Structure 1
Amino acid sequence: MAPVTEHQGSFLSRLSRRNQIVSMEVNHEQELEELEDFQKHVAERFTELLAPPSTTTESLIDTAESDPILSIQWLRKLLDAFMSCESEFQSVLTTNPAQISKPPLDKHVPEMLDRIVKALDICTAVVNGVDSVRQSQRLAEIAVTAFKQRPLSDGSVRRAKRALTSLLNADKNTASSGGGSGRRSTTTEQWSSFGRRSGGGGGFVSKNWSAAKQIQAMTANLVAPRGGESSPIYIISSLMVMVMWTLVVAVPCQASNGLAVQLPLPKHQVWANAAVSIQERVGEELKRKEKRCGGGGLMEEMQRMERIGLKLMEFSEGFSFNGEEEVVAEVEEMEEICRKMEDGLEGLQRGVREVFHRLVKSRSEILEMIDHSKP
């Protein structure tokens, strides 16, 4: 073989560099294409939470009535949307796992891993909070049973009044003191607790733990990338914060006062438009609630239960015989809300557990990618 001349060596070196540049350009174009697809997926899934699938007037009305924002079924759809986006996020990372160890993602990955741990704590608190909603449901059922007695007696009204008193105080007490109690589990213990206790809350948080402070800590370092471009990690982190914030707003959680904060979502980004709209609508409800009576728990069924409970309490305080027909409609509506809770709360709790396990898996996969990308 003829020896490589200096000219040939220079040519081969330039050719190699050019191939590297072309390869980098191709990879960059592929990453941009994947990012665009990911953003479209996010926009579509969260837009579905605001707009019904059909455009007919009848369907619009039916959908609005069956799944209003912050209702149990709507919250389950929110969790499904997030799970779908998180799955897409993992696909994007898997395509080019080395990117998470290079600038600028290398700086954002540790923040995201920490954010996931905080989200796991929130999932634990929300599962416990759903148990407190079940307790409210039981109190409402006691009141319904008492009011349906015929003829309605003084004793039945007193029994209903006791249940209503506990019901109307439950939301405020949970928001200020806690949906769960006991010692603070380690992260590992919390993760395994969901698997061990399929029927219960799974894990506890300490008395000093605060849902509001946890959300604030998750948003503290959530800053949009420079140049106006979004990275997959920034997008999924923003969605995680928004979903966790919405869950804490909807379900009575420990120390959830002070959640009326503006989440740092980029309004100018297409993927964030629907998420911003959801945040604004939930925020309006939250401000009205805090001005009225404070506390947490904006789940649509709970708000209806509270309104009806106040009416029934007023009736019980001024009860006179032969007046039971005055509250027949309210009693029937309360009974209907209890049925919805009976059917939906278990599914909601199961959905939160699924998000919990997905985040645990996601965190483990990211850590594994980091280990494999090290030289």
Structure 2
Amino acid sequence: MPATEYQGSSVHLAFLSRPILSIRRNQIISMEGNSDQDDSELFQKHVSERFLDLSSSPTSTTTTTTSSDAAAATSTTTNDVDNFLSIAWLRKLLDVFLCCEAEFKAVIFLGRDASQISKPPLDRLTPELLDRTVKALDICNAITHGIEMIRNWQKLAEIALLALKQSPLGEGQVRRAKKALNSLLSSMTIDDKDAVSSRTADRAWSFGRRGSGAAAAAAAAVAAAKERTAGPPRLFTSWSVPKSWSASKQIQAMCSNLMMPRGTDPTGMAMPVFIMSTVLVFVTWTLVATIPCQDRSGLLSHFALPRQLSWAGPIIGLQERIAEEWKKKEKKKSTGLLDEMQRLEKCGQLLIEFADSIQFPAEEEKLEEISVQVTELAEMCRKMEEGLLPLQRQLREMFHRIVRSRTEILDVLEQNEKYYSPVL
């Protein structure tokens, strides 16, 4: 699929990401007394506000509008769009990530001595962040494949929908719809281990390497810059993963050394780097929990944040809500937490039950019951049709934004390495 630039799914992304750089430049020029600590605290405040706004989305519920009042109908539709863990909610989550990433780059780059990134504690924290970004790119690719699976399920649902919308509804149409729905439900209940095609044991990783290790030195990160000569990473290509690949292990590796900075930090940058690492881990963790992805067993045990951090409160709250949904998911053995996907599954089960119990010629009451579920199925197909492609574009933007930021940091490290290398 050819790459296309993500145009943004909400107004606040445009207002939050672009002005940050111009505002920060004005601050640097006109406010010489502005300290690194002030920058860090402002970044923490913005992260907290963005995730607090994200956590205000209502819990997913299935609502039926019976009132003829236009205002009530509009209100119901608006709330439904923002359901927790819905496609619209995930798009907001990716917006939040892109905004945080843009401000993070402004905080660490604008008006600073580039050599600070090679000094303690950043000489340790920066390679760790770069290592997480490599793993995040692979998760982006895996999630892309998961979205393609959902789009295939949508097509099966549309086949059933087309058959059930026929008038008069006959036995042949019901049989065709039931066949499509059975295929849909059987593929939605597959085990996580089999959620991704394993036609080959080879895997086209985002970069040539798998990461330098949690405690890699800055010099190792500089050496990794040479790998970029092979060309830019490819996203949204046809690929397969080996059965041994695990989304859960990727998340576990990203969390293994995610610890709050301690001691003095002369650069003032340790906390922003830790915050950005946390945001990256949380966003990828949420995507893995929500979208079908290979091997997610033990996902809840990988990610924990210190509760004493004020900016972490909204993220912890979201994490706990997602964990509760995940526990329900494990009991039902469904493939993911995406709201539309779960409602599609429930609707498909009810329609199969109706198909098994209907007798022809069908009674009017029975046809009315089927009509309600057909309307619900049509609504889920519409939401998937309207939301999945923009979600893929945002995921593509997240991928390329991570690549660009990683490249910029590696360039700084490489320049510092050349500048401070002793002349022989």
Q: What range is the shorter-chain TM-score in?
A: 0.7 to 0.9
- Unaligned segments of structure 1, at least 5 residues: 1-25, 53-57, 195-199
Instruction: Tell me the equivalent position of 1:65.
Output: 80
Decide whether the 8 Å contact of 1:127 with 1:201 is kept in 2: no
Measure the CA separation in 2 of the matches of 1:99 and 1:204: 40
Partner residue in 2 for 1:78: 93
Counterpart for residue 389 of structure 2: 346
- Show CA shifts across 1:269-301 (max 9, x none): 121111111111111101111022x24311110
Tell me how far apart the structure 2 counterparts of residues 101 and 171 of structure 1 sit (CA, whole Å): 48
Separation (CA, whole Å) in 2 of partners of 1:268 and 1:246? 22
1:216 to 252, 257, 273: 252
Q: How far apart, CA to CA, are the structure 2 residues paired with 1:315 and 1:157?
A: 9
Distance 2:334 2:281 in 1: 20
- Which among 106, 113, 123 is matched to residue 91 of structure 1? 106
Bigger drift between 33-42 and 261-270 goes to 261-270
Worse-superposed segment, 249-258 or 78-87 = 249-258
Give the direction of change, closer, same or farther, for the CA distance of 1:251–1:174 in structure 2 (3 Å limit).
farther
Is 1:309 the counterpart of 2:348? The answer is yes
Q: Which residue of 2 aligns with 1:155?
A: 172
Computed over aligned residues only, the root mean square deviation of the Cα atoms, in angstroms, reads 2.6
> CA offset at residue 105 of structure 1?
1.7
The match for 1:101 among 89, 105, 118 is 118
CA spacing shift, 1:61–1:98, aligned 2, 3 Å: farther
Shift of 1:193: 2.1
Of 290, 296, 304 in structure 2, the residue corresponding to residue 256 of structure 1 is: 296
Given the alignment, which residue of 182, 194, 198 partners 1:165? 182
Q: Residue 321 of structure 2 aligns to which amino acid in structure 1? A: R
Residue 289 (str. 1) matches residue 289 (str. 2) = no
Q: What is residue 184 of structure 1 aligned with on the other side? A: 203
Q: Distance in 2 between matches of 1:285 and 1:278?
A: 11
Preserved CA contact (<8 Å) 2:87 2:391? yes
Shift of 1:46: 1.3
**C-alpha distance in structure 1 between counterparts of 2:347 and 2:187, whole Å:** 15
- Runs of 5+ unmatched residues, structure 2: 1-30, 58-71, 209-230
Map of 1:122 onto structure 2? 139
> Match of 2:281, as an amino acid?
V
1:116 deviates by 0.6
Letter of the 2:138 partner, please give it.
D
Looking at secondary structure, tell me which structure has more helix per residue. 1
Higher alpha-carbon deviation: 128-137 or 315-324: 315-324
User: d(CA) in 2 for partners of 1:28 and 1:232?
Assistant: 20
- Kept in 2, the 8 Å contact 1:125–1:204? The answer is no
AA matched with 2:277: S
Cα distance between partner residues in 2 of 1:180 and 1:99: 45
Residue of structure 1 aligned with 2:234, choices 165, 170, 193: 193
Aligned equivalent of 1:38, options 34, 43, 49 = 43
Query: How many Å apart are 1:245 and its aligned residue?
Result: 0.7
Which TM-score applies when normalising by structure 2?
Answer: 0.75
Q: CA deviation at 1:172?
A: 2.7
Q: Which amino acid aligns with 1:134?
A: R
- Cα distance in 2 for partners of 1:320, 1:339 equals 30
Amino acid at match of 1:139: L
- Which residue is 1:268 aligned to? 308
State the TM-score, normalized to the length of structure 1: 0.84
Matches within 5 A, 1:296-335: 296-321=335-360, 322=362, 323-335=366-378
Aligned-partner Cα distance in 1 for 2:390–2:96:
15
**Contact 2:193-2:243 at 8 Å conserved across structures:** no
Deviation at 1:228, TM superposition (A): 11
CA distance in 2, matches of 1:281, 1:61: 22
Q: In the aligned structure 2, how far is the partner of 1:61 from the partner of 1:248?
A: 29
User: Deviation per CA, 1:293-320, whole angstroms, max 9, x where unpaired?
Assistant: x243111100111111111111112221
Contact map agreement 1:115 1:218 (CA 8 A) in 2: yes
Q: Quick one: which amino acid aligns to residue 301 of structure 1?
A: E
* Alignment partner of 2:262 out of 226, 235, 243: 226
- Computing the radius of gyration over CA atoms, which structure comes out larger, 1 or 2? 1
Give yes or no for contact 2:86–2:340 (8 Å, CA) kept in 1: yes
SS at match of 2:36: helix
* Alpha-carbon distance in structure 2 between the residues aligned to 1:160 and 1:175: 26
Residue 12 of structure 1 corresponds to which residue in structure 2? none
Cα 1:136/1:201, change in 2 over 3 Å: farther
1:28 CA drift (Å): 11
Aligned residue pair count: 341
